[in-house]
A and B are shown apart, each in its own frame.
Chain A
Amino acid sequence: MINSSYYIEDPGYQGMKASYWPRIILWLLSIMSLVMLVKSFANKVDSINAGSFSQINYMQFKNALICFGMFIIFLTFLEYLGMLLGGILFVFGLLTFLGGFSIKKIN
């Protein structure tokens, strides 16, 4: 992003250039990220308790991932189905996935 801030067009007007403000923010953001990185290395973490990617329970994100997936499908087909039909299908689809589906419930 810092690199792309150097490609922001300069129309040559007087006053503050369009790239200055974002560049200030990006440099500050980089400095803060570096501080956070240094702090995270400085904090002693128990190697046994420290989690690794393989230990993450992905099932805890199941419902959130369903919501992401359904929303992406809803947005992709919004152009073809329209807001009314797409919205109804999205709501009932999400209700079915999150609330559970069984024949008993239909009866």
Chain B
Amino acid sequence: MIDVILQAFASIVFDPVTLGLMLVGTLAGILAGAIPGFTIAMGVILTLPFTFGMTAIQGLATMLGVFVGGFSGGLMSCMLTGIPGTPSSVATTFDGFPLVRSGKPGLALGLGLWSSFFGGMISAVILVALAPQLAFLGLEFGPWDYFSLIIFALTITVSLSGGNIVKGLIAGLLGLFAATVGEDEINGVARFTFGFDEFKQGFAFLPVLIGLFAFSQLLTDVEDDKRAKSPLMEKSGTLVRVEHRQAIAIILTRWINLFRSSFIGIFTGILPAAGGSISNILAYDQAKKASKNRSNFGKGEYDGIVAPEAANNATAGGALIMMMALGIPGDIVTAVMLGALMIHNIIPGPTFIQDEPLLAYGVFIAFFVAHFFMVGLQAFSLRIFLLVTKIPMYVLASVILAYCAIGVFALHNVVFDIWVMFFFGVIGYFMKKLGFPLAPMILGVVLGKLAELNLARATGISDDLLLFFLRPWSLFFLIMAVISVIFPFYQDAKKGSKFSNIYVPASVFALAIPLLFMESITRLIIALIMIGISFYFVYKSFITNKALIN
């Protein structure tokens, strides 16, 4: 295996043409990620025709450059303007934008850039070492498990509500409702169209996202005349540069968050149709729950940038694991890559790594190398993007509003999408004014269709609703959902109270139960360790309480 990896490494690194193509691809990806309305999938699809004249490995390496560049390109626009360039960088906006506003744009961008790099590296190592073994994990998932996973992801609404759970839930439900407008994906029946043909397609995700986040944010920024005429950053006279060393040091001191977020990214990448849009929010939520400075989240907390950026780049590796090991595309991007392989008469499948080892490991190496290109190009381009912070807000707002309209129109070449953006922009602005958090609404829009689709599939296969509780993975995610909902009460509970003593061991014990039924020796051992840990926690709290009484 080592000789194949070395051969693949040589075929990429010592071939100047492949390296040049990857460089161009990564730059194109960064630009695609940075432009709101221009998705990574669009970037990869536009690259496809150029790969026809290339060899298979050159074509895939170029596409991987676009893929990796796109994931990290989104951080520029989301941090500097508050507009998530791609759905996979939504959570980065929560803390990246406030950190830029607090006068640390160089550090914010450095954190985003290096978190993306480290997340990608962890994912690349896992990709090379464990691809075939991990890929089978994705095959264990049925619609019941997917639905429960989405329910778990939706419970994040509670922690994104910022203290007002009812308003957060209403926002989340409004997002879910917005996703139901148009023809449903199972029966093709029009819903809530009220006779308008335009409504039949439903609301595209990006216009809603840009409207809720960008439009409403820009309107809030120009509300005050004095603030509108001042630049994004007060220290506009000083030279701003990316703080690479400080950012690396901060990330390495938060290595647990980095690894946890990367593993969340890889896990969601392996699951077909999950992807970066879910992983970045999941990783952000877990980082918030595990942090000692939970109250700082949303105000420019470093962990809030590290988690989503590490997770979204790691997702790319997870999606590649599925594609390379089983020939199953996890998302549009990997589907296009499979198409590129087929153009070169290479049929992907479960025996792909055995049949084409040089090409398979070449893809892994290209994924690895693309991250170095991404860091180099971002370090250079971020300095130019930082100049944005010196422009008065009203100038930025005017240009960005037009820019958003163009980006949204470019998505499907439909004017209706711009109206959708405007409509959700107005809704977002007034919801913000009334104290409703917007993040749960976005979560609802992203996950709504997936939730309905999997619920319909599950109930279509079997009427037995007990399957949601009897399938181990489904039960695992439902337990995670319950733990997630109860978590804010645990945060508020007094230290040493019965509830706070029971919460952690009970959660660990409950999560171990589905693992016991997964018919795998490794998972059985993990489950037994978890049960042991939960009993240890109970014993520890019992001893502490006894000591307090005495």
Q: Are A64 and B399 in contact (CB under 8 A)?
A: no
Pick from B177, B190, B419, B451: contact of A75, CB below 8 A: B419
Smallest beta-carbon distance B502→chain A, Å: 27
Number of A residues contacting the other chain (C-beta, 8 Å)?
45
Interface status of A25 (Cβ within 8 A of chain B): yes
Could you say which residues of chain A place their CB within 8 Å of the CB of B192?
A: 1, 4-5, 22
Q: Are B456 and A15 in contact (CB under 8 A)?
A: yes
Q: Are A29 and B222 in contact (CB under 8 A)?
A: no
Interface residues of B in 385-437 (CB under 8 A from A): 392, 394-395, 397-399, 401-402, 405-406, 409, 415, 418-419, 422, 426, 429
Smallest beta-carbon distance A22→chain B, Å: 4
Q: Are B398 and A25 in contact (CB under 8 A)?
A: no
Interface status of B166 (Cβ within 8 A of chain A): yes
Interface status of A18 (Cβ within 8 A of chain B): yes
Could you say which residues of chain A place their CB within 8 Å of the CB of B188?
A: 11
Pick from A25, A36, A75, A99: contact of B418, CB below 8 A: A75
Pick from B187, B190, B415: contact of A79, CB below 8 A: B415
Selected interface stretch from B89-97, B223-231, B247-255, B335-343? B223-231
Q: Are A99 and B229 in contact (CB under 8 A)?
A: yes
Dominant SS at the B interface? helix
Q: Are B422 and A28 in contact (CB under 8 A)?
A: no
Q: Are A15 and B177 in contact (CB under 8 A)?
A: no
Contact bitstring A44-56, B, C-beta under 8 A = 1, else 0: 0000000000000
Q: Are A94 and B398 in contact (CB under 8 A)?
A: yes
User: How far does the alpha carbon of A31 sit from the alpha carbon of B217 in the complex, in Å?
Assistant: 29
Could you say which residues of chain A place their CB within 8 Å of the CB of B180?
A: 21-22, 25
Q: Are A64 and B177 in contact (CB under 8 A)?
A: no
Closest to A99 in B: B394
Supposing A75-B419, A83-B406, A95-B394 touch, asked if A36 and B167 sit within 8 A by C-beta, the answer is yes
User: How far does the alpha carbon of A5 sit from the alpha carbon of B180 in the complex, in Å?
Assistant: 11
User: How far does the alpha carbon of A22 sit from the alpha carbon of B455 in the complex, in Å?
Assistant: 12
Closest to A78 in B: B415
Q: Are A11 and B166 in contact (CB under 8 A)?
A: no
Smallest beta-carbon distance B190→chain A, Å: 7
Dominant SS at the A interface? helix
Interface status of B129 (Cβ within 8 A of chain A): no
Could you say which residues of chain B place their CB within 8 Å of the CB of A15?
A: 186, 456, 459-460
Q: Are B166 and A28 in contact (CB under 8 A)?
A: no
Contact bitstring B171-200, A, C-beta under 8 A = 1, else 0: 001101100100010111111101000000
Interface status of A13 (Cβ within 8 A of chain B): yes
Interface residues of A in 34-72 (CB under 8 A from B): 35-36, 39, 60-61, 63-64, 67-68, 71-72
User: How far does the alpha carbon of A83 sit from the alpha carbon of B456 in the complex, in Å?
Assistant: 41
User: How far does the alpha carbon of A19 sit from the alpha carbon of B176 in the complex, in Å?
Assistant: 14
Which of B194, B402, B452, B455 has the most chain A CB within a 10 Å cutoff? B402
User: How far does the alpha carbon of A79 sit from the alpha carbon of B174 in the complex, in Å?
Assistant: 31
Smallest beta-carbon distance B16→chain A, Å: 39
User: How far does the alpha carbon of A21 sit from the alpha carbon of B188 in the complex, in Å?
Assistant: 14
Interface residues of B in 347-379 (CB under 8 A from A): none
Q: Are A98 and B402 in contact (CB under 8 A)?
A: no
Q: Are A22 and B166 in contact (CB under 8 A)?
A: no
Could you say which residues of chain A place their CB within 8 Å of the CB of B218?
A: 67
Interface status of B170 (Cβ within 8 A of chain A): yes
Could you say which residues of chain A place their CB within 8 Å of the CB of B409?
A: 83
Could you say which residues of chain A place their CB within 8 Å of the CB of B224?
A: 60, 63
Q: Are A11 and B228 in contact (CB under 8 A)?
A: no
Interface status of A91 (Cβ within 8 A of chain B): yes
Q: Are A25 and B176 in contact (CB under 8 A)?
A: yes
Supposing A28-B173, A60-B223 touch, asked if A19 and B191 sit within 8 A by C-beta, the answer is yes
Q: Are B187 and A18 in contact (CB under 8 A)?
A: yes
Could you say which residues of chain A place their CB within 8 Å of the CB of B169?
A: 32
User: How far does the alpha carbon of A47 sit from the alpha carbon of B312 in the complex, in Å?
Assistant: 49
Q: Are B398 and A91 in contact (CB under 8 A)?
A: yes
Supposing A19-B191, A25-B173, A98-B228 touch, asked if A75 and B166 sit within 8 A by C-beta, the answer is no
Could you say which residues of chain B place their CB within 8 Å of the CB of A67?
A: 218-219, 222, 397, 401
User: How far does the alpha carbon of A10 sit from the alpha carbon of B189 in the complex, in Å?
Assistant: 8
Q: Are B190 and A9 in contact (CB under 8 A)?
A: yes
Could you say which residues of chain B place their CB within 8 Å of the CB of A32?
A: 166, 169-170, 173
Could you say which residues of chain A place their CB within 8 Å of the CB of B455?
A: 16, 21
Could you say which residues of chain A place their CB within 8 Å of the CB of B399?
A: 91
Supposing A16-B460, A25-B180, A29-B177 touch, asked if A95 and B170 sit within 8 A by C-beta, the answer is no
Smallest beta-carbon distance B308→chain A, Å: 26
Q: Are A33 and B170 in contact (CB under 8 A)?
A: yes
Smallest beta-carbon distance B196→chain A, Å: 13
Q: Are A63 and B415 in contact (CB under 8 A)?
A: no
Q: Are B191 and A8 in contact (CB under 8 A)?
A: yes
Could you say which residues of chain A place their CB within 8 Å of the CB of B173?
A: 25, 28-29, 32
Could you say which residues of chain A place their CB within 8 Å of the CB of B451?
A: 21
Interface status of A107 (Cβ within 8 A of chain B): no
Which of A28, A64, A72 has the most chain B CB within a 10 Å cutoff? A64
Smallest beta-carbon distance A8→chain B, Å: 5
Supposing A29-B173, A71-B422 touch, asked if A35 and B397 sit within 8 A by C-beta, the answer is no
User: How far does the alpha carbon of A74 sit from the alpha carbon of B422 in the complex, in Å?
Assistant: 11
User: How far does the alpha carbon of A71 sit from the alpha carbon of B536 in the complex, in Å?
Assistant: 61
User: How far does the alpha carbon of A99 sit from the alpha carbon of B218 in the complex, in Å?
Assistant: 15
Q: Are B405 and A95 in contact (CB under 8 A)?
A: no
Q: Are A18 and B222 in contact (CB under 8 A)?
A: no
Could you say which residues of chain B place their CB within 8 Å of the CB of A9?
A: 189-190
Could you say which residues of chain A place their CB within 8 Å of the CB of B229?
A: 99
Pick from B167, B228, B402, B426: contact of A87, CB below 8 A: B402
Closest to B170 in A: A32
User: How far does the alpha carbon of A63 sit from the alpha carbon of B419 in the complex, in Å?
Assistant: 20
In order of increasing CB-CB distance, the 4 nearest A-B pairs are A15-B460, A98-B394, A18-B189, A94-B398
The interface of chain A, by Cβ under 8 A from chain B, is 1, 4-5, 8-11, 13-19, 21-22, 25-26, 28-29, 32-33, 35-36, 39, 60-61, 63-64, 67-68, 71-72, 74-75, 78-79, 83, 87, 90-91, 94-95, 98-99
